[in-house]
């Protein structure tokens, strides 16, 4: 098992795994399966060129994904976001999810990011529990952020600080 950064050459495998994620857990993601199916491998290759994205591999096969995007600019460059995290069910509990998230957090720390943020659906309590175990804290909630088949789900805003707060804090 291994973790490595994904690039455009991984687009076909990434596309297949992303579609699997949206089919298996539609309540956990903001993207719609039918819209995602209409995207081409080139669309997915372009998506992989944005940010630093990671893949978990078992036996040479892509079994997990995590998209990582750092904000830019002097006022928000201390923030990075983790998105679209998915690990195939057969590999859950293997440590791959922690390794995948750990790679993103390590990159954040190496590049001077002060906090890593993410949003998780209230329909994914196992994911929320995982992020809590990994040092994230729930800092907010967007009620009814997702509507899947007429059912609303909140999105939970979670954050992990990588450095002590400096400056004025909120509004400082």
Q: What pLDDT is recorded for position 170? A: 47
In a domain, 166, yes or no: no
Quote the DSSP letter at residue 162: S
How many domains in the chain?
1
Q: What pLDDT is recorded for position 164? A: 60
CATH number at residue 82: 3.40.630.30
- Strand 79-87 relative to strand 61-70: parallel, antiparallel, unpaired? antiparallel
Question: One digit per residue, pLDDT tens: the chain, 172 residues?
Answer: 899 999 888 999 999 999 999 999 999 998 999 999 999 888 888 888 876 899 999 999 999 999 999 999 999 999 999 999 999 999 999 999 999 999 999 999 999 999 999 999 999 999 999 999 999 999 999 999 999 989 999 999 999 999 865 554 444 4
CA distance 93 to 88: 10
In a domain, 168, yes or no: no
In a domain, 96, yes or no: yes
Domain of residue 10 covers 2-161
Angle value at C-alpha 103, between 155 and 122, nearest 5 degrees: 15
In a domain, 12, yes or no: yes
In a domain, 170, yes or no: no
In a domain, 169, yes or no: no
Half-sphere exposure of 52 (CA within 13 A, CB side): 17
In a domain, 172, yes or no: no
In a domain, 141, yes or no: yes
Enclosing H/E stretch for 47: helix 41-49
pTM: 0.88
With beta carbons less than 8 A apart as the criterion, state whether 57 and 63 touch. yes
């Amino acid at each position: 098992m291994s973790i490595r950064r994904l690039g455009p050459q991984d687009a076909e495998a990434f596309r297949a795994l992303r579609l699997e994620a949206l089919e298996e857990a539609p309540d956990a993601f903001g993207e719609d399966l039918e819209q995602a199916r209409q995207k081409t491998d080139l669309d997915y290759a372009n998506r992989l060129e944005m940010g630093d994205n990671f893949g978990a591999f078992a036996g040479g096969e892509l079994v997990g994904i995590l998209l990582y995007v750092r904000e830019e600019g002097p006022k928000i460059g201390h923030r990075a976001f983790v998105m679209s995290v998915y690990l195939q069910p057969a590999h859950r509990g293997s440590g791959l999810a922690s390794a995948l998230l750990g790679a993103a957090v390590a990159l954040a720390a190496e590049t001077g990011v002060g906090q890593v943020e993410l949003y998780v659906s209230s329909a994914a309590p196992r994911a929320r529990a995982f992020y809590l175990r990994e040092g994230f804290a729930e800092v907010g909630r967007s009620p009814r952020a997702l509507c899947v088949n007429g059912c609303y789900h909140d999105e939970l805003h979670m954050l992990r600080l990588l450095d002590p707060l400096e400056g004025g804090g909120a509004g400082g």
